[in-house]
């Protein structure tokens, strides 16, 4: 596993780089979000912050007013040092624990996004330091616009951090984010491709069917699937403004006897698209979703009632466009709990079926046909399990997954 420490001054474009890496398949740990969780009322951190900075930093509901706290520390170096002495050790331990857990799961690339990575001495946690840089005048404009603050306050925040020259001394990679977002993302894709060459994951002997169609499911594990999904080079599709971004989860679960299953949802006749078809839980991207993985997890909870915290995402597959070219779908492979307690959205989901993964190892379980549509010739896949027909983009995503797992 490679751990990247992503750092940079305020408004230097860290989020753009982090989001691009997340879309490419990295697991991102946002230190700022972890810090906010430590602020919860009643926690040891909350007690100490109130003791040091006083109850004037609290909102009426006793949560910490981060803007008020920021006003205090950004104008007082001594107060900032006190805040860091409280937060940094606790956050370090949290990040270290998460990294260790991800290593156990077989994660290939982890990104620790932390503005104070260098100042806090967190470079010992990471293998490489990636630094985002931007001219101060551009950072100033971004910060004033983003946070709706005065020039004086924006400058105080920028100057409260160490100079970029100090950060460069610790950096392995420097990314200039003053270019256009498209250029920055293209640069990150190149860096990602370089990472894939460094990783060189162990190639497991995966499941292959014998002449009689039987397979040894004991050779399949979460780590095996994760490594297979991470090992191929993924190049994002160019964005098509005419297509609506969407995401789904291909839900796997394993029963006590070791057999793996795939869960499919049967859509009702009242939904707007793909009525009556079998599909994977998912839906279209919405503004509150930071990533398409968030979209897939949110929609899965809305459709079948499994919360995001209970789904372990193992990786992603290639984007698929629907045949009518309305949606571009990003599929994520995830493991859901078993036994599971589903809560079906009755407006969207009629029922679910659970198909043994070994069913699809039969030579005729997933068939194909040639279709001619508007003079375009293409192959479409379909499967029939106990009278239930699985076809369309769902079958195409399924085919991609099966090809990777059984013929890797």
- Could you report the per-residue pLDDT of 134-146, keeping only the tens digit for each? 998 988 888 898 8
How far CA 195 is from CA of 26, 109, 278, 383, 401, in Å, comes to: 11, 8, 37, 37, 23
- Asked if the domains 2-197 and 217-406 are classified in one and the same CATH topology, the answer is no
User: What number of residues does the chain have?
Assistant: 408
We find that the CATH architecture of domain 217-406 is Alpha-Beta Complex (3.90)
pLDDT for 212:
47
Task: State yes or no: pLDDT of 406 exceeds 80.
Answer: no
| Domain range list for the chain | 2-197, 217-406
DSSP assigned state of 250: E
In CATH, what class is 2-197? alpha beta
Percent of the chain past pLDDT 90, that is, above it, reads 32
- Could you report the per-residue pLDDT of 331-378, keeping only the tens digit for each? 999 999 999 889 999 999 999 999 999 888 776 688 776 555 554 445
CA 48 – CA 83 distance, rounded (Å)? 10
What does the pLDDT average to over 176-204? Answer: 79
pLDDT for 388:
93
Q: With bands split at pLDDT 50, 70 and 90, how would you rate the model's confidence at 312?
A: very high
What does the pLDDT average to over 152-178? Answer: 87
Helix, coil or strand: residue 109: strand
- Could you report the per-residue pLDDT of 82-98, keeping only the tens digit for each? 888 888 888 888 888 88
Task: State yes or no: pLDDT of 386 exceeds 80.
Answer: yes
- Could you report the per-residue pLDDT of 16-67, keeping only the tens digit for each? 999 899 888 888 898 888 877 788 888 888 888 889 899 988 989 888 888 8
Average pLDDT over the chain, rounded to an integer: 84
pLDDT for 211:
47
Q: What would the two tokens of residue 77 be? A: 């170096």
Q: With bands split at pLDDT 50, 70 and 90, how would you rate the model's confidence at 234?
A: low
pLDDT for 336:
96
Task: State yes or no: pLDDT of 239 exceeds 80.
Answer: no
pLDDT for 25:
80
**Type and span of the H or E element at 372:** strand 367-373
What is the sign, positive or negative, of the torsion defined by CA atoms of 7, 99, 307, 23?
positive
Q: With bands split at pLDDT 50, 70 and 90, how would you rate the model's confidence at 149?
A: confident
What secondary structure does DSSP assign to 207-242, as a single string?
----TTS---GGG--HHHHHHHHHHS---PPPP-TT
Q: With bands split at pLDDT 50, 70 and 90, how would you rate the model's confidence at 408?
A: very low
pLDDT for 238:
47
- Could you report the per-residue pLDDT of 240-286, keeping only the tens digit for each? 557 889 999 999 999 988 889 999 999 998 887 778 899 999 999 99
Helix, coil or strand: residue 296: helix
Helix 151-159 and helix 136-147, axial crossing angle in degrees, nearest 10: 120
How far CA 7 is from CA of 143, 174, 372, in Å, comes to: 17, 10, 51
pLDDT for 179:
87
pLDDT for 165:
87
CA 133 – CA 8 distance, rounded (Å)? 6
Measured in Å, how far apart are the chain's first and last C-alpha atoms? 21
How far CA 388 is from CA of 255, 276, 279, 300, in Å, comes to: 22, 11, 12, 21
pLDDT for 213:
46
Percent of the chain past pLDDT 70, that is, above it, reads 87
pLDDT for 5:
94
What does the pLDDT average to over 110-126? Answer: 88
């Amino acid at each position: 596993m490679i751990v990247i420490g992503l750092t940079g001054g305020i408004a230097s474009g860290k989020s753009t780089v982090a989001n691009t890496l997340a879309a490419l398949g990295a697991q991102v740990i946002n230190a700022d979000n972890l810090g906010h969780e430590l602020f919860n009322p009643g926690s040891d951190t909350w007690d100490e912050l109130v003791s040091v900075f006083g109850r004037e930093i609290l909102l009426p509901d006793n949560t910490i007013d981060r803007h008020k706290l920021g006003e205090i520390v950004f104008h007082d170096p001594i107060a900032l040092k006190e805040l860091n002495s409280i937060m940094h050790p606790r956050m370090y331990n949290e990040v270290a624990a998460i990294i260790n857990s991800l290593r156990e799961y077989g994660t290939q690339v982890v990104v620790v996004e932390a503005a104070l990575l260098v100042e806090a001495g967190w470079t010992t946690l990471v293998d490489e330091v990636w630094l985002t840089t931007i001219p101060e005048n551009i950072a100033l404009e971004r910060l004033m616009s983003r946070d709706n603050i005065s020039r004086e306050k924006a400058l105080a925040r920028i100057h409260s951090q160490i100079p970029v020259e100090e950060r460069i001394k610790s950096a392995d990679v420097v990314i200039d984010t003053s270019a256009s977002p498209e250029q920055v993302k293209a640069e990150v894709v190149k860096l990602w491709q370089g990472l894939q060459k460094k990783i060189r994951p162990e190639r497991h002997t995966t499941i292959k069917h014998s002449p009689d169609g039987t397979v040894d499911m004991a050779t399949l594990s979460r780590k095996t699937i994760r490594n297979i999904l991470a090992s191929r080079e993924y190049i994002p599709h160019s964005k098509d403004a005419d297509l609506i971004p969407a995401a789904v989860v291909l839900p796997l679960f394993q029963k006590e006897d070791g057999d793996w299953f795939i869960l499919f949802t049967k859509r009702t006749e009242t939904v707007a698209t793909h009525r009556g078809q079998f599909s994977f839980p998912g839906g279209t991207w919405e503004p509150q979703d930071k990533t398409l993985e968030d979209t897939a997890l949110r929609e899965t909870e809305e459709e079948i009632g499994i919360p995001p915290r209970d789904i372990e995402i193992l990786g992603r597959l290639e984007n698929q466009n629907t045949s009518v070219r309305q949606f571009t779908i990003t599929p994520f492979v995830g493991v859901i709990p078993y036994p599971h307690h589903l809560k079906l959205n009755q407006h969207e989901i009629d029922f679910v079926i659970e198909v043994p993964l070994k069913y699809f190892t039969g030579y005729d379980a997933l068939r194909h046909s040639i279709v001619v549509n508007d003079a375009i010739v293409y192959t479409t896949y379909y499967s029939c399990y106990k009278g239930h027909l699985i076809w369309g983009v769902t079958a195409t995503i399924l085919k991609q997954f099966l090809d990777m797992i059984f013929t890797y």
